A and B are shown apart, each in its own frame.
Chain A
């Protein structure tokens, strides 16, 4: 999510493919280094309840995650 633009696709790929994964890791680090927060929408398989999980490292991304959403870091308003 980018102010003034809304949703912007940064990159996509199959994490099981080495080249794709390298690109995904690079994009992930670039966004976090740029001060963004990353969250993964998740769904409880038992209740179906949707939630978000904040991730600070590429390894924290659940394997079943289809997308990671980056958004500006929160600041006191």
Chain B
């Protein structure tokens, strides 16, 4: 009998105490425990907003890049941009040396590297040989053929810019870059995917050296899976093989 009474007292206490605490909080003016929920609801975004933003971004991207590049992005999900000889990307050697090499390559000695030097295999941690320079800088590559360019970039949305050699498919380096909204850093919102690709495309084609200087350079494989990249390069090759020379399907 005593146990039954004790159990009833405990049950009543469990029911009364939370209500008493709630009323005490209300009297003191403190916000109740559930007060945060309506606030959270206010910050929820329109689920269609990002989708509409991405749709607009795709239209903007399509109106800016070349037809081939748009088709590439539409079909494969990335864009290849050929490099320019004056700002050839540099392979990162060790932490701390990458930026220095990039600066040297882009500013102090803008001549392109000797192709023999580029293809010199490097051992991790031992650095690459910075071989001799060509006596005469090679003539610039044709503007519409990445295959004839010594290097090119792959632009993925919200992934590093990847530099590679089109001839050998050798991955050179990852340039980690983002376009953050400094005025609204708290929310951490980011550009729609297609806007991110367009920003990289504009920065690369408009001022390649500047973008490379601002980016953090790393060895391939830091953020992008090399296996995936090689598959993408294979897909790109197949895509180009099947694609008619004059893009009639850019719509």
B202 to chain A, nearest CB (A): 4
Residue from B52, B56, B64, B178 with most neighbouring chain A CB atoms (10 Å): B64
Question: Given A3-B180, A47-B143, A54-B207, A74–B214 Cβ distance below 8 Å?
Answer: yes
Q: Are B160 and A77 in contact (CB under 8 A)?
A: yes
Judge if A57 is at the interface, Cβ distance under 8 Å: no
B176 located at the interface, meaning its Cβ lies under 8 Å from any Cβ of chain A in the complex: yes
Q: What's the minimum C-beta distance from A71 to chain B, rounded to whole angstroms?
A: 4
Q: Is B206 a contact of A6 with CB atoms below 8 Å?
A: no
Contact assessment for A6 and B192 in the assembled complex, using a CB-CB cutoff below 8 Å: yes
Task: Flag whether A14 is at the interface (Cβ < 8 A).
Answer: no
A18 within 8 A of B: no
**Residue contact A51 to B206, C-beta cutoff 8 Å:** yes
Contact between A73 and B205, CB atoms less than 8 A apart = no
Q: Which of B35-74 contact A (CB under 8 A)?
A: 49-50, 52-54, 56-57, 60, 63-66
Cα–Cα, bound, A46→B15 (Å): 82
The number of chain B residues touching the other chain, given as a range, is 35 or more
Instruction: Please name all residues of chain A whose beta carbon is closer than 8 Å to the beta carbon of B176 when the two chains form the complex.
Output: 76-77
The listed residue (B190, B203, B210, B214) touching A4 by CB distance below 8 A is B190
| B182 close to A (CB within 8 Å) | yes
Say whether A69 contacts B64, CB under 8 Å: yes
Would you give the 0/1 interface string for A1-18, flagging 1 where the beta carbon is closer than 8 Å to chain B?
111111100000000000
Which A14-67 residues have a C-beta within 8 angstroms of B?
34-35, 37, 39, 41, 44, 47, 49-54
- List residues of A whose CB falls within 8 A of some B CB: 1-7, 34-35, 37, 39, 41, 44, 47, 49-54, 69, 71-77
* 6 A-B pairs with the lowest CB-CB distances in the bound complex, closest first: A4-B189, A6-B53, A76-B216, A54-B206, A52-B202, A3-B181
Residues of B within 8 A of A (CB): 49-50, 52-54, 56-57, 60, 63-66, 143-144, 160, 176-184, 187, 189-192, 195, 198-199, 201-203, 205-207, 210-211, 214-216
Given contacts A3-B180, A54-B206, 15 further A-B contacts (CB under 8 A): A2-B191, A3-B189, A4-B50, A5-B49, A7-B53, A39-B202, A39-B203, A49-B66, A50-B66, A53-B206, A54-B202, A74-B177, A74-B210, A75-B180, A77-B178
